[in-house]
Amino acid sequence: MKSLERYFEKIKPNFEKGGKHEKWGSVFESFETFLFVSSKTAPKRGAHIRDAIDSKRLMSIVVMALVPSMLFGMWNVGYQHFLSLGTDAGFWQEFIHGFIKVLPIILVSYIAGLGTEFVFVYIKKKEIEEGFLVSGLLIPLIVPVDIPLWMVAVATILAVILGKEVFGGTGMNIFNPALLARAFLFFGYAKKMSGDKVWISGLEKGQNIIDGFSGATPLSQFAGATKEQIADGGFKVFNGLHHNIVSAYDMFMGWIPGSIGETSTLMILIGAAILIYTGVASWKIMLSGVLGASAIGLLLNVLPDGLNPYFELPFYYHLVSGGLAFGIVFMATDPVTSAQTEKGKWIYGFSIGILIIIIRVFNPGYPEGTMLAILFMNAFAPLIDHYIIRANVKKRLKRLKVKA
Amino acid sequence: MSNVIKIKRGLDIKLVGVPEKELKEITSLKSYGIKPTDFPGITPKVVSKVDTEVKAGTTLFFDKYNPDVVFTSPVSGKVTAINRGERRRILEFVIEPDGKNESEVFKKDKPENLNREEIKESILKSGCWPFIRQRPFNIIPKPEITPRDIFITSFNSAPLTADLNFIVKNDFSAFQTGVDALTKLTDGKVYLGIKAGEISNQFSNTANAEKYEFSGPHPAGNVSIQINKIKPVNKGEVVWTLNAADVIIIGKLFETGTYNPMRIIALAGSEVKHPQYYKTLLGTKLSDLTNEQIKNKDIKKRFISGNVLSGEKISENDYIGFYDTTVSIIPEGDNPEFFGWAKPGFGKFSLSRAFFSWLTPNKERVLDANLHGGERPFIVTGELDKVFPMDIFPLQLIKSVLIKDLDLMEELGIYEVAEEDFALCEVINTSKIEIQKIIREGFDFAIKELG
């Protein structure tokens, strides 16, 4: 390690002001600080001791929290694939199949995204911002497995440029870049992002698929379900080997079709525990999101039945299905695009929870509402903060008036 | 005492090198220095040129825009140098003592026998005025404005700071005299912030002041926090603030009729062999204290005039700052760490639990001056609120300063804060933003705009 350090010290002058490769200075610096925590010390005046946390550490904790969902997603891709073929391939073969399917998506996302970031590092002459370390893993986890790789690349590049860099980079953006990438795909290439065929690898091609296998996600099943099916507490989803019925338990564990990383509520909860324990993400947003979704779920239950069989769905089914858990834990809590005041976080999270269920249940066009709900509330987060801050300002003005 | 206020949000950082309560007097020093740069917003005009003979209390320079505010020599002797920096900005006045210990003569009387104008005149002429600072903007107040109230804090809560209760030990009567003098300068009250739960706290015996006890972590000892809890500053109001150590010097002025800026300074930090207190005068050179007191010379050191949260980095041959009763010495920490951001980090200090050091929260740590990361835009939200115990939104206030929106700064409470109140915010900030500097720039901007 010492020799690497010495090498960097040796080539550094080339990249400094007046050096041969001066233009590449910011790119060099980005690499250097990736390898070494910089030797920069506190300025002359100010705080001389600093917390060990920095944005690299922050982002790497989020990446760590995503790993359980990612690994489970890889296995589930294989599991669903062999289920559709009607064979039991065993854990390792299933995992390897999924690994081979998912890894290219992750690589494409990182290469496209980081490539774009480095272009901006070069243009802006600023050290790279680490935000994409998280976005780069989030994007693969919220797309269907059979998505063409070029679409991932296009969506990622668009998300980095239009979602982040045009606003000034990490910390300045209004919308969550990863969700924006998904929104591009969803509205641009709807065929590849919705329906019953896209969620399981190989299903679109349709070779060797066993008869009657549907591949639909639980959410699209709910939307078309009859009252009787709801009352049964489960749905015939596919002629699987282990499970004929998708139960809340199945959805909690995650062996259901869906976007790569979103299916297992259990794995997402492990990630949530890491985020909450380290203090990296706001538990207030997560809790209020779940409360909001539960509240509206329960409210729908007490509405007169007959309006829509979907109303009868037990509220906890909403919490474990679709992208709700993944969205609330990993997307809604993005500190840059969520509400910034502590009170505001409660309102923001709660609203997301409510909106997700409303879009799911009342909008037949979209089986899932998580993406739209979070993007919608991203746009409203500054407004929420505005009112919280105005209340504080008013208090201060009132103090002045009381005195006068 | 009934007024106890509990501060909930904040942080006590436990560091190695807390000063022992031992006092060593150091005398016959070769030079003293007064630095105009210690007073933000002051434009110095030289009175005592090089080679002028001065006494303790003789004016060295005054503020161009407030000529009544003068800055005086701490000792009798001769001005040997006026060192200047870029664009001939005056950095320091160096005074070589002559050992005669002469002082200019001021009114010697009990403050109760003097009227407001007489007290003001003594404080101004002796050079004690700069010990007083005001909210808003944490600057030396204009003499013609009478403050609403005066707030004195009698304890430092930042890590490794001098224990004022130890400093006041033999000078309590002078402190009381100082308080008596200050009561004459306001139509309101003199408030005294006291650390709660201390046995034999001498400040509890103070008369003529409204006493409030504060408990809880740093920044409980910061006077802004105390003002915010007792009687917040509103737009258009001016309050004065003082540190108890400086009140002692004002008290001595009236007890002796001379300017006697005695300082008891805590030499603290992990790089000091035997951290303890030193009795000396204002404007002492750091090397006069550190003499043989520095550990292992091989490790690069950072010398801080003041505390580790908001002091100023100086060299060993610089003079200690005007307001500082603490000098901290910590490792500089300018060596790169391979993949440092990815390590488990058992020994690292962090408010978050992103490192495994949360296993040992009460351990006294050796921290260096490394930033542990590069500067980024604000990313994390809610972290600053955890260490900012006022009813103010710190992040939003900082951002209002960054966009230079004076109305917004005013609405969000810029009049109630000082730089030091944001010190902990700066420490724990993930994006490594120089928050205290931003706040100071906000003050300068507001002063300029408001005229």
ipTM of the complex in this document: 0.88
| CA A377/CA A175 separation, integer angstroms | 9
Lowest mean pLDDT among A3-17, A42-56, A128-142, B44-58: A3-17
Which residues on A lie below 8 Å from B382 (Cβ)?
A: 282, 335, 340, 342, 345
Q: For residue B316, what is the DSSP state?
A: T
Do B88 and B56 form a contact (C-beta atoms < 8 A)? Answer: no
In this prediction, residue A202 has a pLDDT band, given cuts at 50, 70 and 90, of: confident
On whether residue B374 sits in a domain, the answer given is no
**Residue whose C-alpha is closest to residue B384's, from B430, B439, B434, B425:** B425
Give chain B's residues under pLDDT 70.
1-2, 336-347, 357-360
pLDDT at A404: 60
Domain that holds residue B424: 384-450
Which residues on B lie below 8 Å from A37 (Cβ)?
A: 336-337, 339-341, 370, 372-373
| CA B389/CA B392 separation, integer angstroms | 8
Give the model confidence (pLDDT) of A131-153 as tens digits.
Answer: 888 999 999 999 999 899 999 99
Question: pTM (2 decimals)?
Answer: 0.89
> Which of A27, A53, A64, A172 is the best mutation test for B, with the most CBs of B within 10 A?
A53
| CA A9/CA B429 separation, integer angstroms | 28
Per the model's pLDDT, the better-predicted residue between A295 and A221 turns out to be A295
Q: What angle separates helix A25-35 from helix A91-124, to the nearest 10 degrees? A: 140
pLDDT at A224: 65
Give the CA distances from residue B320 to residues A162, B245, B272, B328, B398, in Å, rounded to whole numbers and listed in that order. 52, 15, 16, 11, 29
Mean pLDDT, chain A, rounded, equals: 85
Chain B interface includes A400 (CB < 8 A): yes
In this prediction, residue A191 has a pLDDT band, given cuts at 50, 70 and 90, of: confident
- State the pairing for strand pair B276-281/B23-25: parallel
| CA B44/CA B60 separation, integer angstroms | 9
Supply the DSSP string of A288-337, one letter for each residue.
Answer: HHHHHHHHHHHHHHHSPTTS-GGGGS-HHHHHHSTTHHHIIIIITT-TTT
On whether residue B151 sits in a domain, the answer given is yes
Which residues on A lie below 8 Å from B16 (Cβ)?
A: none
pLDDT at B158: 93
pLDDT at A244: 45
My answer on whether B246 and B272 are in the same domain is no
Asked if the Cβ–Cβ distance from B370 to A41 is below 8 Å, we say yes
Q: For residue B113, what is the DSSP state?
A: G
Cis amide prior to B136 (ω within 30 degrees): yes
Q: What is the mean pLDDT of residues A6-26?
A: 73
pLDDT at A241: 35
Instruction: Give the domain-ending residue among B208, B238, B256.
Output: B256
My answer on whether B34 and B128 are in the same domain is yes
pLDDT at A9: 72
Q: What is the mean pLDDT of residues A270-287?
A: 94
Asked if the Cβ–Cβ distance from A40 to B374 is below 8 Å, we say yes
Instruction: Give the domain-ending residue among B256, B273, B294.
Output: B256
Torsion angles phi and psi, residue B295, rounded to 5 = -75, 160
CA atoms within 13 A on the CB side of A291: 13
My answer on whether B125 and B45 are in the same domain is yes
My answer on whether B211 and B79 are in the same domain is yes
**% of chain B exceeding 70 in pLDDT:** 96
> Which of A35, A49, A67, A128 is the best mutation test for B, with the most CBs of B within 10 A?
A49
**Boundaries of every domain in chain A:** 2-35, 55-197+259-388
Do B436 and A47 form a contact (C-beta atoms < 8 A)? Answer: yes
Asked if the Cβ–Cβ distance from B376 to A392 is below 8 Å, we say no
Which residues are within 8 A (CB) of B232 and not within 5 positions of it... i.e. 6 or more apart? A399, B416
Asked if the Cβ–Cβ distance from A53 to B372 is below 8 Å, we say yes
Asked if the Cβ–Cβ distance from A55 to B234 is below 8 Å, we say no
Which residue do the tokens 């780069």 mark?
A136
Partner residue facing A37 (CB), from B308, B337, B437: B337
My answer on whether B278 and B169 are in the same domain is no
Number of domain units in chain B: 3
- State the pairing for strand pair B239-243/B150-153: parallel
Cis amide prior to A314 (ω within 30 degrees): no
Torsion angles phi and psi, residue B136, rounded to 5 = -75, 160
> Which of B365, B371, B429, B433 is the best mutation test for A, with the most CBs of A within 10 A?
B371
Chain B interface includes A35 (CB < 8 A): yes
pLDDT at A243: 40
Torsion angles phi and psi, residue B64, rounded to 5 = -55, -40
My answer on whether B308 and B419 are in the same domain is no
Q: For residue A398, what is the DSSP state?
A: H
pLDDT at A118: 87
As to burial, measured by CB atoms within 10 angstroms (0-12 exposed, 13-18 middle, 19+ buried), residue B361 is: exposed
| CA B54/CA B48 separation, integer angstroms | 8
My answer on whether B155 and B224 are in the same domain is yes
Which residue do the tokens 């006077």 mark?
B223
Give the model confidence (pLDDT) of A312-371 as tens digits.
Answer: 778 888 899 889 999 999 999 999 999 999 999 999 999 999 999 999 888 877 778 899
On whether residue B364 sits in a domain, the answer given is no
Closest CA of chain A from B230, distance in Å: 13
Chain A interface includes B393 (CB < 8 A): yes
pLDDT at B392: 93
**Residue whose C-alpha is closest to residue B419's, from B400, B396, B444, B383:** B444
My answer on whether B405 and B345 are in the same domain is no
Q: Residue B172 belongs to what H/E stretch?
A: helix B172-183
Lowest mean pLDDT among A91-95, A124-128, A303-307, B149-153: A303-307
Position A232 pLDDT exceeds 60: no
My answer on whether B245 and B297 are in the same domain is no
Instruction: Give the domain-ending residue among B215, B231, B256.
Output: B256
Q: What angle separates helix A177-188 from helix A149-163, to the nearest 10 degrees? A: 130
pLDDT at B408: 94
Chain B interface includes A64 (CB < 8 A): no
Asked if the Cβ–Cβ distance from B309 to A392 is below 8 Å, we say no
As to burial, measured by CB atoms within 10 angstroms (0-12 exposed, 13-18 middle, 19+ buried), residue B334 is: middle
Do A26 and A124 form a contact (C-beta atoms < 8 A)? Answer: yes
Position A237 pLDDT exceeds 60: no
Do B270 and A9 form a contact (C-beta atoms < 8 A)? Answer: no
Residues 337-376, chain B, touching A (beta carbon < 8 A) = 337-342, 345, 348-355, 357, 367-374, 376
Do A127 and A40 form a contact (C-beta atoms < 8 A)? Answer: no
**Residue whose C-alpha is closest to residue B175's, from B146, B195, B147, B205:** B205
My answer on whether B103 and B250 are in the same domain is yes
Q: What angle do CA A22, A27, A29 make, to 5 degrees?
A: 85
Q: What is the mean pLDDT of residues A187-205?
A: 81
My answer on whether B390 and B442 are in the same domain is yes
3-state helix, strand, coil in chain A (%, to 5): 65, 0, 35
Position A23 pLDDT exceeds 80: no
On whether residue B370 sits in a domain, the answer given is no
| CA B82/CA B72 separation, integer angstroms | 14
